[in-house]
Amino acid sequence: MLADRHPTPLILDGSAVALETVLDVAAGLTRVQLSDSSEFRERIAAGPAFLDRLLEEDGVVYGVTTGYGDACTRAVPMAQHAELPRHLYTFHGCGLGEILDIESARAVVLVRLVSLCRGVSGVSVELLERLVWLLEEDVIPVIPSEGSVGASGDLTPLSYLAAVLCGEREVFDGGQRRSTAEVFAERGLTPYRLRPKEGLALMNGTAVMTALACLAFGRAERLSRLATRITAMTSWALEGNPYHFDADLFAAKPHIGQQRVAARLHRDLAHDPGRVNDDETPRNSSRLQDRYSTRCAPHVIGVLEDSLPWLRSFIENELNSANDNPLIDPVAGKVMHGGHFYGGHIAFAMDSLKTLVANIADLLDRQFALLVDTRYNHGLPANLSGATLERAPLNHGYKAVQIGVSAWTAEALKLTMPASVFSRSTECHNQDKVSMGTIAARDALRVLTLSEQVVAALLHGACQAVDLRQATGSHVQDVLLPPTLGDFHRLCRERIAFVEEDRALENDLRYLCVHLADLAEGMYAD
């Protein structure tokens, strides 16, 4: 079981859950409990009770008394109803590709649980308790990432969750991949037997794409802040014009996120960060106009900042929705057949997010190109080499890192092709229009990984450039790093060292990629 979690647990009672809560549970920081409220538990129990009555009256319910998908016209004999859910998760056990990491798989379990707690999926309280048990014991399904077209939901990857509840396939137990049957036996847990509709309720939804979207949103929000801080360091090292981020200038183009980024840059570059408006902005500064990759940074990063609210809206609405089929309304006595498993909103959000993020990678790639090139870096050594004069012929500094940044950026840009336009008619043309939302979410996470590598590389190079600028400045003002940047620079220097002689930087870069969240903590509390 996980230790050191927040003392206040997440109580699930069908109420809305915030995106950040998913991130906390996925990271193992927050416990999860099912509400003890009698009203909540009675509302959940009413669903399967209604289904039982309907079956006794020979009612027809898709996926309960019929086959699945295009086989919905094929009646399943009553004697075989109990076997049907197991067949559903069994024949969907064909996922391939990389396995979701434990954090992502935890998020999948929680997101499915949140949806089922809405009380319209016809599942039992016992099923919900089993899902909570997985999170509390940190027994997490091993879920292949590939095989979903995003409608009817994430059937294939979610079949691994259903199978695990029934004691089959594999789990991560304490981080180790093990047989589910062995783990259950060790804990004295009997495998769950799915009731009618419960296999479909677990699998026919958008939990995988939505879980990945929550994780992608959190990383994108962090990347925006890091890209802003690193841009400030790059601008200072290039002796850039800080007045490009003047508040009066940005008042003329009032995109709120763009203004926020400009204000952050202005504060970072100010020697008195408390002054929001600089009354001493010169009519004509010594550097009239920097190149676009620094001057227009608020306009590039700001598009992501301005998109975060609607991205959150799309993701949180999906997170807190009932998105399986059919839905059960025991109060009205209705079984409602529809298509809420369609992941179009997540698909569009993730296709948009990956373009927003890749544009930031491209921005930082251009900044790195300026830093290493003596034609544009205003007196810094070629390739940011820290070697002494006599050792300079041997040393090549960040030459290869800059090539790597170019490669990572190119791959990120290549992946911005929208997945949602590649709908394929499948499953005997029953699923003839599908969302590709899970592929879009996976693409977004890959673009984020590549972009974080660019961030790590430029952060390393920007710290080097700051040190070199301070060493070559001829006046006190030339080498006086603004206090906000000075604090951040010292924080980075506690983790990565100055590059004097050439050394392999892979370990430094991998370290930074892993610890970007630590470096971004508390950054820009505006």
pLDDT average, residue stretch 92-121? 97
Provide the edge-to-edge strand list for the sheet that holds 176-179: 139-141, 170-173, 176-179
Q: Encoding tokens for residue 188?
A: 């004295």
Dihedral of the alpha carbons of 325, 25, 191, 95, in degrees to the nearest 10 = 60
* CATH number for the domain harbouring residue 385: 1.20.200.10
Lowest mean pLDDT among 206-210, 268-272, 371-375: 268-272
Q: pLDDT at residue 275 above 70?
A: no
Q: Based on the domain organization, do 284 and 158 belong to the same domain?
A: no
Number of structural domains in the chain: 2
329 belongs to a structural domain = no
- The two beta strands, 30-34 and 6-12, are parallel
Distance CA 526, CA 76 (A): 59
- In this structure, is residue 328 part of a structural domain? no
Q: Kindly report the CATH number assigned to the domain that includes residue 55.
A: 1.10.275.10
Of residues 506, 420, 515, 503, the one with CA closest to residue 149: 420
Q: Which of 160, 182, 205 is the last residue of a domain?
A: 205
C-alpha dihedral sign at 213, 215, 221, 225: negative
Lowest pLDDT segment from 141-155, 164-178, 418-432: 418-432
Residue 526 lies inside a defined structural domain of this protein: no
d(CA 162, CA 204): 11
Does 290 lie in the same domain as 344?
A: yes
Show the tokens assigned to 334.
Answer: 């209705």
The reported pLDDT for the residue numbered 307 is 98
Q: Which domain holds residue 19?
A: 6-205
Q: What is the DSSP letter of 65?
A: T
Asked if the structure places residue 31 within a domain, the reply is yes
Of 470, 452, 460, 288, residue with least CA distance to 368: 460
**Is residue 274, in this structure, part of any structural domain at all?**
yes
Q: Are residues 127 and 195 in the same domain?
A: yes
Of 175, 205, 235, the residue that ends a domain is 205
Looking at the structure, tell me whether residues 160 and 187 fall in a common domain: yes
The whole-number average pLDDT for the span 352-357 is 98
Q: Is 292 a catalytic residue?
A: no
Residue 475 confidence (pLDDT)? 44
Length of the chain: 526
* Tokens representing residue 127 in the block: 């099923």
Domain finish residue from 138, 173, 205: 205
DSSP state of 462: H
Span 261-272, average pLDDT: 93
pLDDT of 241 higher than 50: yes
Which is nearest to 143 in space by CA: 91, 98, 198?
98
Q: What is the pLDDT of residue 279?
A: 47
**Least confident range of 53-67, 324-338, 353-367:** 53-67
Pair 429, 418: CB distance under 8 Å: no
pLDDT at 278 over 60: no
Q: What is the pLDDT of residue 1?
A: 65
Has this prediction a pTM greater than 0.85?
yes
Tell me whether the omega of the peptide bond preceding residue 235 falls within 30 degrees of 0, making it cis.
no
pLDDT at res. 281:
54
Same domain, 190 and 280: no
Q: Is the peptide bond before 152 cis (omega within 30 degrees of 0)?
A: yes
Sorting pLDDT into bands at 50, 70 and 90, what band is 523?
very high
* pLDDT tens digit sequence for 452-496: 999 999 999 999 999 999 987 644 445 689 999 999 999 999 999
- In the numeric block, which tokens belong to residue 500? 């004097």
DSSP 8-state secondary structure symbol assigned to residue 188? T
Same domain, 235 and 382: yes
For the ranges 66-70, 312-316, 325-329, 426-430, which has the lowest average pLDDT?
A: 66-70
Q: What pLDDT shows up at residue 476?
A: 41
The token duo for 242 is 């800080």
Q: Is residue 175 situated within a structural domain?
A: yes
Whether 327 is in a domain gets the answer: no
